Structure formats: C-alpha cells, structure tokens
Amino acid sequence: MNRVELSGKGRILVVDDAIENIRILRAALKDEHDVVFALDGQKALQVACDQHPDLILLDAMMPGVDGWAVCAELKASVHTANIPILFVTALNSPEDETRALEAGAVDFITKPINTAVVRARVRTHLSLKRANDLLRQMATSDGLTGVANRRCFDETLDKEWRRCERAQQSIALIMVDVDCFKAYNDHYGHQKGDSCLTVVAEAIAGCVCRPSDLVARYGGEEFVVLLPDGDEDGARVVARRILDRVREQGIPHARSSCAPHVTVSLGMAAAMPARDKSPAGLLADADARLYQAKVTGRDRFCGGD
C-alpha cells in the first residue's frame, strides 16, 4: 500500500476531444502539476488505470465513449473510484450539473474555460483528496507494519472476487506465516518481535509490483498477498520471491527449528470466481497449503504444483 504524499505536484488527467481545450488546461496547470491527457474516453480509462492520476478533468460530450460513461466506469472500479472527477463541459443547465454530481463527480465547470477558476478548484479538490487519502490510509493500514489491515483485505478480496467473476479472470492468494514466531518473541522480547514483523512486512511488500496487488497483515504473525488477475504460476513466482527476500534479511533467530535466521512458510491457491464458489474457499485452500508447508519442514511454499 502506497504512503500518502501530502505535498508536491499532483498528477492531473485532462480528457477532451478538442486539442485546443487540452492546450489551455495544460498551460493553466503545468506550473503546479504534472499534466497528462487523453483525446477520447477509451484512452482516458486506460491512462487512469495505468497512471492513477490524483484528479481528472473530464469533458462530458465526446464521440464514442462519452464523459458520462467514463465517469461511471471509473467509479465502478475499486482501483479508480477514489479519484476526484471534475466535469469541464459546454453543458450548463442545472440538470446537467445535477447529473454530473449524481454520477460521482466532485465539481462541474462550464466552458468557455476560465483558467483562474480551474486552478483554484483543482487546488481545492487536490487538497481534499490528500486529506481523504490520509484518513483512508489510517483506517485501512496496520498500525505496526504499515501494510493493509485485515479489514482492508476482507473488503478488497470481496470486491476483487466479484470483479474477476464479471471479467472471467482468475484470482490468486498467498498466505504467509513467520516460522517459530512465538519462540522468537519468548527469546528476544516483544519489542524485537514487533521490529521483526515490520521488516518481514516490508520484505513481502517489496515482492509485489502491480497496483492491484495487495499485501495485508492477516493477524499476529500471518500476512496475506492478494493477486487479482493472478494464477498459480504467477503466485508461485511471487511466493519464491518472498521466501528468498525474507531469508536475505538475515534476522537472527536462535530458537528456530529450521534455520538460524527468520524464515517464513507460505501456502498459495488460485481460483476462477463463479457463483457456486466463494472467497472463503480460496482462503481455505491457501490456509491448507500453508499448513502443509509448516508440517513438512517450514521455510518453504506449497501449492501450485
């Protein structure tokens, strides 16, 4: 989970089918923000997903996928739902403004473009987003390790399961358990135990790179890695990476039964979401394979064979 940046330039996505409007908005914003653009709705969805801008200035009337459809799709996705959208449009009726706000937009600016108004409203909504992001991070992050907490994981798993079911894509999961952690706490003390969990969490988080991947503390010394659009082959690659990365930390563990340093055991599973299946089944499969890894010697991963 990314830390919230409270200062610095924002990334603004400008969406308009008229290049002149894009030039005007870019000139107005480029000194304070990084500006990217899209000339149509389909490209806007791609850029929003790939670059995850801090704010979107969106034209309503465009050929093909119009601004209303773009807004609806962005708000329907767990990955883009929290990006503020400001409609910048030639439409100017109260009904149009109401439609925009009900669709999830935070503001409605009418053309012709007044650059001073645009700059002021962008600053306001960017400040609000940063404050909301900070509150959201505090509510969804584990206070000790900084990765996502159990509540965030449960909610994300449910949303991604339903999204992957609609898209007919698989989803993968890795359960991670710190080996002999009670013995570590008993020998080194709880303060050292907390430090150990923080280092392990950072090591795990460093092994995933896609924005949609999620690392969370599941409970105690257990962590979980959620890999939407992932299969067993991909999960195997990540699991091996985690195993090696934790070993490389070289955290001394004099009371471990399997190595002189801290190690982890991992269980992984993948599924194709369907109406007759549930996320609970995926969790149970990964947990069973984690148990298999522990009873067969620890410091290894099971699943995806």
CB contact at 8 A, 59 and 89: yes
3-state secondary structure (DSSP) of residue 233: helix
Instruction: With both helix axes pointing from N to C terminus, report the angle between 150-167 and 279-295 in degrees, rounded to the nearest 10.
Output: 120
How many CB atoms are closer than 10 A to CB 132?
13
Q: CA 191 from chain center: how many Å?
A: 29
CB contact at 8 A, 17 and 41: no
Kind and range of the H or E run holding 247: helix 232-249
Is 221 marked active-site? Answer: yes
Name the catalytic one among 95, 97, 155, 221.
221
CB contact at 8 A, 87 and 107: yes
Kind and range of the H or E run holding 24: helix 19-29
CB contact at 8 A, 81 and 74: yes
Provide the b/e sequence for 74-113 (b: ≥16 CB within 10 Å): beebebbeebbbbbbbebeeeebbebbeebebbbbbbeeb
Q: Catalytic amino acids?
A: 221
